[in-house]
């Protein structure tokens, strides 16, 4: 066989191989002869595509040996928006001819596709605000117990914010709603967080329900969407659901190439543990001289930040999580407290979408804006306007975290499941049974499988983005939950982020359970035990999260204390399959 014959057969083989194409690719035109590559083709990654350029007439464009476009003979460039992230792709721009030399162009795409978006959810008219006291004032006197408050929706624009991260194989979505809280499922209608996730999954098939995390920011100046302080106005729940779904689907639609980096900064001096004597020093001047005592030690004082950067240097996403209750104040009328203030500031500073979310809220409150132990070096230390001071202080830690941030690489995975917990907290049980008679109607579903007898079902979840591990807590989780996750993973995790009020809102998730007696004894000054479903729910959530993380191609070491806690799915939840049940409403 001659050398010329061998080359001809090899070129014919290349054409034949190219006929086995993935969905969306085109078959090579037949009867045109072999392919000869053009000299001088270049490839460059842009924010949303790979840009190819060449000179001279070309017939076809191939990516990694497969034709992706048949070209007009006058074309000299092409934008490929279908290249997978985190891959090295080789492009050939060719014409039909008998012979030709190989002159491909190769390019490495950024690790991820990232998109972010937001939608306005500002209510109109007079709004019941949630967070302080109990009830709408119809039974319990406001002067004695207090209530969240009523205010006209003025001064601030609260939003639903969302982002999507895609590694080319799996995509995840995380969203935040700037309201007091949101349940997985409601007694009436289809506006629960599970309903929202299902609506998104029907629009975007690459985002199944278990790849979607939706949380609220727990602002005590935002609309009460739980019902404990009078509840929302008519139609507001439907509005928010539509806007959350729109924000997530818009974020997905606007994904572009980006690399990620993640870091943290220690802001422990800006929050205090409610069970420690540091809680007695909530002003700049020490009111309590010591000694320092803490019956339930531990707080999560790290500001954790993830930022996306496109090939052009833009930042479509700057995401920050901090364990400070959204009770810092500073806004006007209805507002989303520091998560809203900081989200808006990060959006202005970095472009794209800034999203600030709450972390391990249990047993922790923010200094408003400085405690006796707050460092005077904070840029907002002497700033009188509280909103401005919060943005300066928290924003400085975002900057610090980004300064030392490290690149994030690796696959995207997610898992979600359910747990069933005894419903033994007396106040929560009473609100389910008869809250509406006290102007504090708990709007969460009372029906099976969400409530059966004296048991309650909730959602647990885990997300992995390369070395970032996110564990979700369906309420105000204690920092021990995140620490147990961190300890179980050791060096496998670059950052461990605990998201509060994620996928449900079941009040305080005390962990470890050994803390419960101490928290209960603090009831005159600490409401953590009042809004608690059961003494074991915090440990149960943490252990279930760790088990789910074990399905994300990681190998956590399960603490021995987790032997009795598991994730319950539909098949393993016989109580939840009972058709009639739940709390009987008088």
Q: Mean pLDDT by 10-residue block, N- to C-terminus, for the chain (586 residues)?
A: 41 31 38 63 95 89 94 92 96 72 82 98 91 76 72 84 98 97 96 98 98 96 92 94 98 98 98 96 92 93 98 98 95 94 98 98 96 97 97 98 98 97 89 80 91 93 98 97 98 98 97 95 89 95 97 96 85 78 42
pLDDT of the residue at 97: 63
pLDDT of the residue at 155: 67
Tokens of 62: 């191939």
CATH 2.60.40.10 matches 3-109: yes
pLDDT of the residue at 215: 98
pLDDT of the residue at 149: 81
pLDDT of the residue at 102: 52
Domain ranges of the chain: 3-109, 113-562
The secondary element (H helix, E strand) that includes residue 434 is helix 426-434
Peptide bond into 512 cis (omega under 30): yes
CA separation for the pair 210, 81 (Å, rounded): 27
Residue bearing tokens 């727990």: 218
Q: Which DSSP string do the residues of 67-85 spell out, in sequence order?
A: EEEEPPTT--EEEE--PPT
pLDDT of the residue at 584: 40
Q: At what angle do helices 386-403 and 337-350 cross, to 10 degrees?
A: 60
Pairing of strands 171-177, 212-216: parallel
Sequence-separated contacts (24+) of 483-491 with Cβ below 8 Å: 483/298, 483/300, 484/511, 484/542, 484/543, 484/546, 484/559, 485/542, 485/545, 485/546, 485/549, 485/556, 487/557, 487/559, 488/546, 488/549, 488/556, 488/557, 488/558, 488/559, 489/549, 489/554, 489/556, 490/557
Tokens of 415: 């898992």
pLDDT of the residue at 33: 52
Report the predicted TM-score, pTM, of the whole model to 2 decimal places.
Answer: 0.91
Instruction: Specify the 3-state DSSP secondary structure of 9.
Output: helix
pLDDT of the residue at 432: 83
């Amino acid at each position: 066989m001659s050398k010329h014959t061998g080359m001809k057969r090899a070129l014919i083989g290349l054409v034949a191989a190219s006929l086995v194409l993935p969905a969306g690719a085109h078959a090579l035109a037949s009867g045109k002869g072999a392919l000869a590559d053009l000299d001088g083709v270049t490839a460059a990654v842009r924010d949303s595509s790979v840009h190819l350029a060449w000179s001279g007439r070309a017939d076809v464009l191939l990516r990694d040996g497969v034709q992706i476009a048949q070209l007009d003979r006058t074309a000299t460039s092409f934008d490929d928006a279908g290249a997978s992230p985190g891959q090295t792709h080789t492009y050939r721009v060719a014409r039909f001819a008998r012979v030709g030399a190989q002159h491909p162009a190769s390019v490495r795409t950024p690790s991820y596709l990232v998109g972010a978006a937001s939608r306005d959810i500002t209510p109109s008219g007079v709004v019941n605000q949630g967070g302080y006291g109990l009830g709408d004032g119809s039974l319990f006197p406001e002067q004695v117990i207090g209530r969240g408050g009523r205010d006209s929706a003025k001064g601030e624009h609260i939003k639903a914010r969302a982002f999507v991260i895609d590694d080319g194989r799996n995509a995840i979505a995380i969203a935040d709603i700037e309201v007091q809280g949101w349940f997985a499922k409601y007694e009436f209608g289809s506006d629960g967080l599970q309903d929202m996730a299902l609506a998104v999954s029907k629009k975007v098939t690459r985002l199944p329900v278990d790849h979607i995390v939706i949380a609220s920011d727990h602002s005590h100046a935002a609309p009460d969407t739980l019902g404990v302080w009078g509840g929302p106005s008519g139609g507001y729940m439907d509005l928010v659901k539509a806007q959350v779904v729109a924000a997530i689907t818009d974020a997905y639609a606007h994904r572009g190439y980006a690399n990620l980096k993640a870091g943290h900064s220690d802001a422990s001096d800006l929050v205090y543990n409610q069970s420690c004597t540091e809680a007695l020093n909530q002003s700049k001047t020490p009111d309590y001289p010591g000694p320092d005592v803490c019956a339930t030690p531990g707080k999560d004082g790290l500001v954790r930040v993830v930022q996306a950067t496109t090939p052009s240097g833009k930042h479509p996403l700057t995401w920050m999580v901090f364990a400070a209750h959204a009770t810092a104040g500073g806004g006007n009328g209805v507002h989303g407290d520091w998560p809203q203030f900081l989200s808006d500031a990060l959006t202005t500073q970095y472009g794209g979408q800034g999203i600030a979310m709450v972390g391990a809220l249990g047993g922790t409150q923010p200094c408003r804006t400085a405690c006796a132990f707050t460092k005077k070096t904070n840029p907002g230390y002497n700033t009188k306007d509280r909103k401005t001071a919060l943005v300066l202080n928290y924003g400085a830690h975002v900057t610090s975290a980004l300064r030392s941030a490290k690149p994030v690489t690796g696959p995207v995975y997610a898992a979600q499941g359910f747990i069933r917990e005894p419903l033994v907290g007396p106040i929560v049980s009473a609100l389910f049974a008869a809250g509406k008679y006290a102007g504090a109607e708990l709007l969460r579903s009372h029906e099976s499988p969400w409530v059966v007898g004296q048991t309650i079902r909730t959602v647990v979840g885990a997300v992995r983005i390369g070395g970032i591990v996110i564990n979700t807590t369906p309420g105000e989780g204690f920092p021990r939950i995140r620490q147990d996750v961190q300890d179980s993973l050791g060096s496998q995790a670059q950052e461990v982020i605990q998201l509060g009020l994620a996928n449900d809102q079941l009040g305080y998730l005390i962990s470890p359970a050994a803390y419960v007696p101490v928290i209960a004894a603090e009831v005159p000054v600490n409401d953590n035990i009042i809004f608690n479903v059961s003494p074991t729910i915090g440990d149960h959530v943490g252990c279930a999260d760790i088990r789910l993380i074990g399905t994300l191609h990681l190998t956590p070491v399960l603490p021995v204390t987790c032997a009795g806690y598991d994730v319950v799915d539909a098949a393993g939840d016989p109580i939840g399959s009972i058709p009639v049940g739940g709390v009987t409403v008088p």
